[in-house]
Structure 1
Amino acid sequence: MTIVVTGAAGFIGSHVAAALLDRGETVLGIDNLNDYYSVALKEARLARLAARPGFRFVKADVSDRTAIEALAPDFAEATGVVHLAAQAGVRYSLENPYAYVDANVTGQVAMLEAARRMPKLKHFVYASTSSVYGANKKMPFSVEDRVDSPMSIYAATKKAAEMMTYAYCHLYKFPATGLRFFTVYGPWGRPDMAAYLFADAIMAGRPIRVFNEGRMKRDFTFVEDIAAGVLAALDRPAAADANGAPHTVYNLGNNRTEDLMRFIGIIEESLGREAVKVMEPLQMGDVPETTADIEASRRDLGYEPKTPIDVGLPRFIAWYKDYHGIA
């Protein structure tokens, strides 16, 4: 039996693939290794996986329908899909919206079409995002909240992916679970995300851009906690709702909102250097605060995040120094 992991060379995908291998699963990893950020970093993540028994990699783009259809024989033994391949990033979606529609909508449909034809499939788990909560003012964000006011093109494409998946579950009756991730950070992280951007700038002596004049709060979530939540969801196929669609969504966050300035302070302390901060207004498409209500995830999945930023950020910085050869 095989678990298909798309985005296997990505930040979260590589951690999920490793966690699946840790428990003895066979993993088929798929990734297009695009150059949105360092291909060398993606290849380094893959190399760690490729060295392990039970892992096989196929280079393919999930938005390429022909390429995904050609993998049908490889999917014959798949019992689960963890679909994490996506075009991420709120700000870049303002520059290149087509990349988001291709990866996050067309790619979602291509994988759903593949999933409905997998003869042994038990569960389709896919990545959504806290960004779908958009302009919501109520905190913490609950899966019961309305999510029809996206503040970015990225958020709109991820909400579209949720709705498309619901329709497939209703029509074809295979179970699927969407996971709304909240600001994930940790070792092997993405260079376009806050922890990596700040560490890079501080080490190079460049100023860091601090948006909304520092008045930002995020539910920063350590990647190993996220991976544990993904596996817990995979093991618990969604039950049918009142309309007969076996589909559900959960929040995966730390359930603890942190001030951005405290986040920066821990990075400074871990690096032993002070950042030069440039205070800027809130960026278009961004929101000042996110907080995850994870009660449903705790109840149904046994999800329990364990890593505060006081522990997780020093672990990220230790990896960052090692990866970049910094003494």
Structure 2
Amino acid sequence: MLVESPPEQRAAQAPQAPAPRKRHALRAVGLLVSLGVLLLVVVASIAIGAKQIPLGDVWHGLFHASGSGNDVIVQDVRMPRTLLGVLVGAALGLAGAVMQGLTRNPLAEPGLLGVNAGAAAAVVSAISFLDVTSLTGYVWFSFIGAGVVSVLVYILGGSRGATPVRLALAGTAVTAALYGYVNAVQLMDSAALDKLRFWTVGSLASANMEIIGKVWPFVAAGVVLAMLIARPLNAMEMGEDTARALGAHLTRTRVLAMVAVTLLCGAATAACGPIVFVGLMVPHLVRAITGPDMRWILPYAAVLAPVLLLGSDVIGRVVARPSELQVGIVTALVGGPVFIHLVRRRKMTQL
């Protein structure tokens, strides 16, 4: 004999079904809005620069270029610079999100944990000692440096027993040592200093289509790997035992995550130098919108990190006209206070 549930019980159970669908719909709408914001920033990056160009001339340079001076600036300078900013921003945002998910460390970021510094030190060594001058040559050194330092900081931080603070301290120590080495090499080699004085602070100024053509395959591979490990990273957020119970392959996930971070950070650093704090700020902003689900954090980070990077680049072009303030300096000025705020939060002091 079937017994009907009381009306109160049916009323309590009824609203539960549509809630996940509603959250997914809101996240999807938010992602579309983020894409719209990225499009606006891309337009601003093309239209605004150290030289003021009327919007009509910008439009002409994009779609009806005839070889005039303004057309050349739009086509050969601002377009590659903007495209490279999108690639590098997406790479750094994804790398930061993957590192935070892998280490369960809210301070994890390619700049803070020394990954960018390792790539920079390897590239500086290649340029100064091996006379490597092309991106095709030193991008491989960038990958090697990023990968070696990622493993080194992970070991120094305590490997599987690492805490956020220990990883941050290990990354800070390694970063300081490597940048000391980079500065020493540049001081001893004036030719290297001339080549690297803008690159070492992080700059999009030297962007061109050749650089983009060489970098994008590595960034694309890193993006694909990062997206593929979103689910196991979600499981690892709940602890290793829980992740194993859910069927996650921890070793494989760690290896793929480190390969993804190495590809993303190595390509980004080889293309425009070490840029810090992008991978720290954006994932924190994204979590306030999406919650802890890496399946949403990663796409949001890939969209919003270029917004931050290109926005900082536009600010750097405007505040020092007719000169420019390098984008790495702007992101450091913005990211420093954010990092201090995160460290001083009550929850952070308990880590």
Q: TM-score range by the shorter chain?
A: under 0.3
TM-score (norm 1): 0.26
Q: Decide which structure has the larger Cα Rg and report it.
A: 2
Instruction: Kindly indicate whether structure 1 or structure 2 has the higher relative contact order, using CA contacts under 8 Å at least 6 residues apart.
Output: 2
TM-score (norm 2): 0.25
User: Which structure has more helix as a fraction of its residues?
Assistant: 2
User: Which structure has more strand as a fraction of its residues?
Assistant: 1
